[in-house]
C-alpha cells in the first residue's frame, strides 16, 4: 500500500471546504482577508480540541478556569506594554502598495509581489491591536481594544481567583477565548489570522522556582500535542535566544510543528517573572501581593510560567498530520483523515445497507440510541463503498452497517477507518465496543 502525507496546504484547504470543515468568511461577498468560518465538522473538531485542552489543564487540583471579557479597561494594555510595544515594523511597496513585515521580507531584494527593485518605504512601527470605541461618542476618551491575548484577563483576576478559591502557590488560572491581532501579513490558511482563539494558562509560583516549573510545563504541554496524535518527528522545541525574548520574559520556549509550509510555532511557554502583576499593581494602584503563610507571612508578587497555545494553529497541525492519501492512482485510492478518535468530529456513521423501510427504520432507531453517547452521522445515499470513502475523508473512526442479516442476528458490521477491517458486533455490545476503542 502506498501512503502520502500532506504536501500542499491547498489540498487541505479544498478538503476543508468540500467536506464542511472550514469556509472562507463572508464568501458570498468575495471573502474577508484571512478570516475563516468553521463549518459543521470544523466546529466539532474545534470543540473537541478545546475540550481536551480544558480537561487536561483544569481537571487537576491546582488549576482553575475563568472566562474573561474580550473588552477590558484600556489601561490594562498600557500596563501590559501592548500600547507601546505590541508593534511590528511595516514596509510598503511604493509601486504596488503591497505591505510586508520588515523582519519577514528582504528589503534589499525586489518586491515579492510585483518584482520592482528598491521600492520599499522606510520601515515604520505598526501597532497590532484593533481599536474600537465604547459608547456612542467616538473620541480618544472612549477608545477600547479588542484583546490581543487572553493572558491579561487572567492577570487582572489573579487576586479574585486566589482569594475566592483559597489558593496557595503554586496554582494556575486557565482560559480559552478569542484574541485579535491586526497582522500585517496573515495567511497560510488558518495559521495566521486576525481573529483566532487562544488557550492559555498562567501558573503562579514562588520567585526562584521558575526553572523547575518551566521544565515541568514544557513536558506536560509537549505530551498534550503527542496525545493529539501529532507525530514526534514533526514536533520540536525551539528555545528563544536572548535576541528573541519578549519584553516580559526571562526565558521562553516554543513548541513547533513541521507544517507543509515549514516549521512554525504552535505554542509558547514563557517564564514571565512578576512583570505583569508588577505593572498592573503600579498602573491600578492596587496591592496585588500574595501573603505566603508558609513562609512567615512574607508578602511578594508571584512569578508566572505561561503556556499559550493557539487553538486554530494546533487544529491546523492536527489536520495536516491526520491527512493521508493512500494508494494514489489506483482503484483503492482514498484520502483518510486519521484523527485520534477523541478529536474526530463524527465518531460513528450509521449506514443502512439499502434504503428499504425494513432496514431503514431499525437502523434509524439504532442511530437515535447511539446519539445519546456519540456524535453520529446517518447516511443512506450512494453505494456503501462511496459512503465509506466520505467517512474516511472526514475522519470518522467507525462505520456501522446495518444489513439484512441484522434483522436475524441483531448484529451489525463495524468497519475500522484505519485498518478497513470489518467485525460483526452484536447491537447489545456496540456501545461498549466503540467506547473501548476510543
**Nearest to ligand ATP of 183, 403 (CB atom):** 183
Q: Give the Cα separation of 37 and 99 in Å (integer).
A: 25
**Nearest to ligand ATP of 313, 387 (CB atom):** 313
Task: Work out the burial of residue 151: count CB atoms within 10 Å of its CB; fewer than 13 is exposed, 13-18 middle, 19 or more buried.
Answer: buried
The distance of closest approach from Cβ of residue 257 to ligand ATP in the complex, given in angstroms and rounded to an integer, is 10
Q: Is 193 in the site for ligand ATP (CB under 6 A)?
A: yes
Provide the Cα torsion 173, 179, 184, 187; round to 10°.
100
The CB-nearest residue to ligand ATP is: 310
The distance of closest approach from Cβ of residue 267 to ligand ATP in the complex, given in angstroms and rounded to an integer, is 5
Which of 150, 162, 188, 198 touches ligand ATP (CB under 6 A)?
A: 198
Q: Which of residues 296-315 bind ligand ATP (CB under 6 A)?
A: 308-310, 312-313
367 contacts: CB under 8 Å, gap ≥ 6: 350, 376, 378
**Nearest to ligand ATP of 269, 366 (CB atom):** 269
Q: Which of residues 157-186 bind ligand ATP (CB under 6 A)?
A: 181, 183
**Nearest to ligand ATP of 259, 388 (CB atom):** 259
Q: Which of residues 74-103 bind ligand ATP (CB under 6 A)?
A: none
Q: Is 272 in the site for ligand ATP (CB under 6 A)?
A: no
| Options 45-53, 259-267, 365-373, 407-415: segment touching ligand ATP (CB under 6 A) | 259-267
Q: Give the Cα separation of 97 and 114 in Å (integer).
A: 9
Angle at 405 between CA 399 and CA 408, to 5 degrees: 125
**Nearest to ligand ATP of 31, 115 (CB atom):** 31
Q: Is 258 in the site for ligand ATP (CB under 6 A)?
A: no
The distance of closest approach from Cβ of residue 193 to ligand ATP in the complex, given in angstroms and rounded to an integer, is 4
Which of 42, 177, 268, 345 touches ligand ATP (CB under 6 A)?
A: 268
The distance of closest approach from Cβ of residue 181 to ligand ATP in the complex, given in angstroms and rounded to an integer, is 5
The distance of closest approach from Cβ of residue 86 to ligand ATP in the complex, given in angstroms and rounded to an integer, is 9
**Nearest to ligand ATP of 162, 307 (CB atom):** 307
The distance of closest approach from Cβ of residue 180 to ligand ATP in the complex, given in angstroms and rounded to an integer, is 9
Q: Is 196 in the site for ligand ATP (CB under 6 A)?
A: yes
Q: Give the Cα separation of 1 and 327 in Å (integer).
A: 6
Helix 311-322 × helix 40-58 angle, to 10°: 110
**Nearest to ligand ATP of 64, 200 (CB atom):** 200
Neighbours of 249 (CB within 10 A): 19
Q: Give the Cα separation of 304 and 328 in Å (integer).
A: 50
The distance of closest approach from Cβ of residue 119 to ligand ATP in the complex, given in angstroms and rounded to an integer, is 25
Given a contact cutoff of 8 angstroms between Cβ atoms, the answer to whether 267 and 223 are in contact is no
**Nearest to ligand ATP of 317, 363 (CB atom):** 317
Q: Which of residues 304-363 bind ligand ATP (CB under 6 A)?
A: 308-310, 312-313
**Nearest to ligand ATP of 187, 207 (CB atom):** 187
The distance of closest approach from Cβ of residue 331 to ligand ATP in the complex, given in angstroms and rounded to an integer, is 40
Per CB under 6 A, residues contacting ligand ATP are 149, 181, 183, 192-193, 196, 198, 265-268, 308-310, 312-313
Amino acid at each position: 500500500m502506498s501512503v502520502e502525507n500532506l504536501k500542499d496546504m491547498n489540498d487541505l484547504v479544498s478538503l476543508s471546504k468540500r467536506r464542511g470543515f472550514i469556509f472562507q468568511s463572508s464568501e458570498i461577498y468575495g471573502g474577508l482577508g484571512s478570516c475563516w468560518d468553521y463549518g459543521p465538522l470544523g466546529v466539532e473538531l474545534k470543540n473537541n480540541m478545546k475540550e481536551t485542552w480544558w480537561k487536561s489543564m483544569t481537571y487537576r487540583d491546582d488549576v482553575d478556569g475563568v472566562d474573561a471579557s474580550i473588552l477590558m479597561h484600556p489601561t490594562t494594555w498600557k500596563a501590559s506594554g501592548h500600547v507601546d510595544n505590541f508593534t511590528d515594523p511595516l514596509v510598503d511597496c511604493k509601486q504596488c502598495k503591497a505591505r510586508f513585515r520588515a523582519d519577514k521580507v528582504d528589503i534589499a531584494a525586489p518586491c515579492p509581489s510585483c518584482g520592482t527593485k528598491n521600492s520599499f518605504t522606510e520601515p515604520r512601527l505598526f501597532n497590532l491591536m484593533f481599536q474600537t470605541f465604547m459608547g456612542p461618542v467616538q473620541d480618544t476618551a472612549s477608545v477600547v481594544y479588542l484583546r490581543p491575548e487572553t493572558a491579561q484577563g487572567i492577570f487582572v483576576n489573579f487576586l479574585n481567583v486566589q482569594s475566592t478559591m483559597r489558593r496557595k502557590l503554586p496554582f494556575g488560572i486557565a482560559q480559552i477565548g478569542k484574541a485579535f491581532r491586526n497582522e500585517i501579513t496573515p495567511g497560510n490558511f488558518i495559521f495566521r489570522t486576525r481573529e483566532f482563539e487562544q488557550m492559555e494558562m498562567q501558573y503562579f509560583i514562588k520567585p526562584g522556582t521558575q526553572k523547575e516549573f518551566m521544565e515541568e510545563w514544557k513536558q506536560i504541554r509537549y505530551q498534550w500535542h503527542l496525545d493529539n496524535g501529532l507525530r514526534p518527528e514533526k514536533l520540536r522545541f525551539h528555545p528563544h535566544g536572548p535576541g528573541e525574548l519578549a519584553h516580559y520574559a526571562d526565558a521562553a520556549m516554543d513548541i513547533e510543528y513541521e507544517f507543509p509550509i515549514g516549521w512554525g510555532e504552535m505554542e509558547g511557554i514563557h517564564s514571565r517573572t512578576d512583570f505583569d502583576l508588577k505593572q498592573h499593581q503600579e498602573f491600578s494602584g492596587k496591592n496585588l501581593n500574595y501573603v505566603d503563610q508558609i513562609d512567615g507571612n512574607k508578602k511578594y508578587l508571584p512569578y508566572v510560567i505561561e503556556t499559550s497555545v493557539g487553538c486554530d494553529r494546533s487544529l491546523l497541525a492536527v489536520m495536516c498530520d491526520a491527512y493521508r492519501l493512500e494508494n494514489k492512482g489506483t482503484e483503492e485510492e482514498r484520502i483518510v483523515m486519521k484523527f485520534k478518535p477523541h478529536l474526530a468530529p463524527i465518531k460513528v456513521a450509521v449506514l443502512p445497507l439499502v434504503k428499504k423501510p425494513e432496514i431503514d427504520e431499525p437502523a434509524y432507531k439504532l442511530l437515535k440510541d447511539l446519539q445519546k453517547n456519540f456524535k453520529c452521522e446517518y447516511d443512506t445515499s450512494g453505494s456503501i463503498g462511496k459512503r465509506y470513502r466520505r467517512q474516511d475523508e472526514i475522519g470518522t473512526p467507525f462505520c456501522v452497517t446495518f444489513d439484512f442479516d441484522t434483522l436475524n442476528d441483531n448484529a451489525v458490521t463495524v468497519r475500522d477507518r484505519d485498518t478497513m477491517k470489518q467485525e460483526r458486533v452484536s447491537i447489545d455490545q456496540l456501545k461498549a465496543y466503540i467506547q473501548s476503542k476510543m
